[in-house]
Amino acid sequence: MKDALHDIYRNQSLIYKTFLFLCATALVIYLFPKAGKFKYEFQKGKAWQYENLYAPFDFAIQKTEKEIADEQEEVRANFIPYYAYDTSVVSGVTDRYEAEYANYFKRRGPKKAGQDFLEMLYADGVVADTETLPDTRFVNVVKGNEVTPVAKDKLVQIGKIRQLLSDFLAQQRLSDYEDDFYDLFTAIVKPNIIANKELSEKALEDELNNIYTTKGTIDRGKRIILNGEVVEGEKYEILTSLKKEYESHLWKGTNYYWIVFGYTILVALAFVMLLLFLRKYRPHILQDNTKVTFIFVNIIAMVFITTIAVKYDGAYVYVVPLCILPIILKAFFDARLGLFVHVLTVLLLGFIVPNSFEYVFLQVIAGIVTILTVSELYRRANLFVSVGQITLVYMITYFAFTVIHEGNLQNIIWLNFGLFILNGLATLFAQPLIYIYEKLFGLVSDVSLLELSDTNSRLLKELSDKAPGTFHHSLQVANLAEAAANEVGANAMLVRVGALYHDIGKMNNATYFTENQTTSVNPHDEINPAESAQIIIRHVLDGIELARKNNLPDRVIDFIRTHHGTSTVYYFYKKQLENDENTPVEDYKYPGPIPFSKETAIVMMSDAVEAASKSLKNPNYGIINDFVEKIVNKQIEEGQFLNANITFKEIESVKKVLKQKLTNIYHLRVEYPE
């Protein structure tokens, strides 16, 4: 049992990565839409590249979205709305006529004529002048439980009563009573036809729902298209219908498990390729569980967002800012890893997006442009310029595909260009997202490194006040290391920041370090060599404590831990040997670890060379050359660079830069022959 637990503890990193791999694969498959994948890829306007295709089963030809939209528009244009006929209004008006008649006619008048006129008015109904009537010729009038189509011009509007009354009384030869009747009807006549919006909306919705989405059927075995035929017109519509029918029916019954099995193989294969890439080219990233988790989280996040966009509306996949992925990975790691992960993610998304070939081509091109253009994110204008270039590439590529498919510019969906602009605006979110990731995963980007490199920051200001000599030494090391990093292709910004902070632990005992001693008094003269060595060694641990207290990133703390590796405080060790020849050398060694990256190795070389260069007297080219060779070769002999991914060729390049810089520092001139 104890051995089993020991094996689990020893292999915990491998177990975690396996668990992460399985979870990521399962989650991506879960996010995939539950539909099969049509086995043929085709594009409008291009030749059918497969064998002759025959209908595998009976299926209906689906109408295009434009055809359905046109039919819906036609239904709306011809729809006859519903109006309610209120009989209670008619009864009320009739009663008021009986009651008010005597008030308007003092002498005996033609009462029966007025009754006939009211009956004529309300035969089909009276509407208010403010009532909006449709453009259709008829309206549906609901009277009780009956619906009767009524010609629109038979409905009487209140404003037309005077004209109707005049014509009616003229026919009855009662024009002398027109004014009295008009005053009476003005007082009592009320509209009884009112629009029934609820019933109209329901009826319109029913009519729209009854529109057929198909236009004929294709029988099983019927030839659909021949090899080499151009996919266009009716053939394109039939192929599109077959694809929809195929995908909607495939994910059923026992097929479900086979499709899941197939997706599992493909998704797992993509993630295996990622892990193999990390193992071969980025082993230091693969060893860091946090960084591996970070990469997987970003891939899953992009699959999740794209899946939501596809489910809502396929066109909105172009709003998803997929280029954020290479931007972020390049900011935290490097361009090659960023592009590789971006391409793998795009390949995964090809399973779920419409027009997968176009999408993959478009996103891969955009990813390449992103990697080539986005640099130095700490410069605010760079991201805006790069995003503008990415958006332009999106538009140009989409335009080219549309021209190929349509053969003209008439059917270009200009709205998609607006979607690409939204995509560009969303890509600008990379800056705050980088900051969020730094806090969540403890990673460091060039933006944070630029902030840390400010010598006016609180910690470096404190170093310059308490240990001015150490501060000056750190600046010199930073300049040397940055130049060397540029020469061998290392992260120059990270190297500079690491060099600036590598000796901050000396602040606690500044006077015990020669660069900070301004008088001839040396405090080491008053203590024994063992104590002196421990004070010198202690500055590494003090630096780590100070860095953590001030929330410096782990990548910067690595430089503090490794800049002396496991080297020996040789001066005090030799001094102690004079007192005790049996003194163990282990007591005078730094605790390590030794450098484990190209960047930390460069800082170690630069630190040792810069510190020792202060002892040079009357330096010349030969002295500087031998001096640098001696120091760096000793570090190699001690095995200080065994864990660092730095080659002998790169070490020689670092030496060359250090020699050139020291030559410039000491202002050596060329010795001319006599």
CB atoms within 10 A of CB 10: 10
pLDDT digits (tens, 9 = 90+) for 350-399: 888 877 888 899 999 999 998 888 776 666 677 788 888 889 998 898 88
Burial per residue of 77-104, b for 16 or more beta-carbon CB atoms within 10 angstroms, e otherwise = eebbbbbebbeebbeebeeebeeebeeb
- In this structure, the strands spanning 156-157 and 138-143 are unpaired
Banded model confidence at residue 491, pLDDT cuts 50, 70, 90: confident
Examine the pLDDT at 538 and tell me if it is beyond 80: yes
Strand, helix or coil for residue 491: coil
Strand, helix or coil for residue 315: helix
Q: What is the pLDDT of residue 207?
A: 87
Average pLDDT (79-94) is 88
State both tokens at 579: 């007192």
CA separation, residue 599 to residues 495, 499, 512 (Å) = 6, 10, 28
Q: What is the pLDDT of residue 249?
A: 62
pLDDT digits (tens, 9 = 90+) for 418-454: 888 898 888 888 888 888 888 888 788 877 888 888 8
Q: What is the 3-state secondary structure (H, E, C) of 558-625?
A: HHHHHCCCCCECHHHHHHHHHHCCCCCHHHHECCCCCCCCHHHHHHHHHHHHHHHHCCCCCCCHHHHH
Examine the pLDDT at 250 and tell me if it is beyond 60: no
Longest dimension (CA), the chain: 148
The answer to whether 192 and 86 have CB atoms below 8 angstroms apart is yes
H or E element at residue 85? strand 82-85
H or E element at residue 258? helix 255-281
Q: What is the pLDDT of residue 401?
A: 83
Can you tell me the distance from the alpha carbon of 541 to that of 545, in angstroms, rounded to the nearest whole number?
Answer: 6
Global pTM exceeds 0.85 = no
pLDDT digits (tens, 9 = 90+) for 160-184: 888 888 888 888 888 888 888 888 8
The answer to whether 149 and 93 have CB atoms below 8 angstroms apart is no
- Of the candidates 248, 278, 189, the one whose C-alpha atom is nearest the C-alpha of residue 35 is 248
Q: What is the pLDDT of residue 278?
A: 93
- Of the candidates 502, 444, 447, 457, the one whose C-alpha atom is nearest the C-alpha of residue 475 is 502
For the ranges 1-15, 31-45, 179-193, 269-283, the maximum mean pLDDT occurs at: 269-283
Q: What is the pLDDT of residue 156?
A: 84
State both tokens at 634: 């000793």
The answer to whether 60 and 217 have CB atoms below 8 angstroms apart is yes
Average pLDDT score over the chain: 85
Q: What is the pLDDT of residue 108?
A: 62
Can you tell me the distance from the alpha carbon of 367 to that of 651, in angstroms, rounded to the nearest whole number?
Answer: 34
Q: What is the pLDDT of residue 36?
A: 57
pLDDT digits (tens, 9 = 90+) for 26-40: 999 888 876 556 667
**Tell me, what amino acid is at 5?**
L
Banded model confidence at residue 672, pLDDT cuts 50, 70, 90: very low
Q: What is the pLDDT of residue 520?
A: 75
- In this structure, the strands spanning 138-143 and 146-151 are antiparallel
Please give the distance of CA 200 from its chain centroid, rounded to a whole number: 44
DSSP 193: E
Can you tell me the distance from the alpha carbon of 612 to that of 624, in angstroms, rounded to the nearest whole number?
Answer: 11
CA separation, residue 471 to residues 200, 206, 429, 503 (Å) = 82, 80, 37, 8
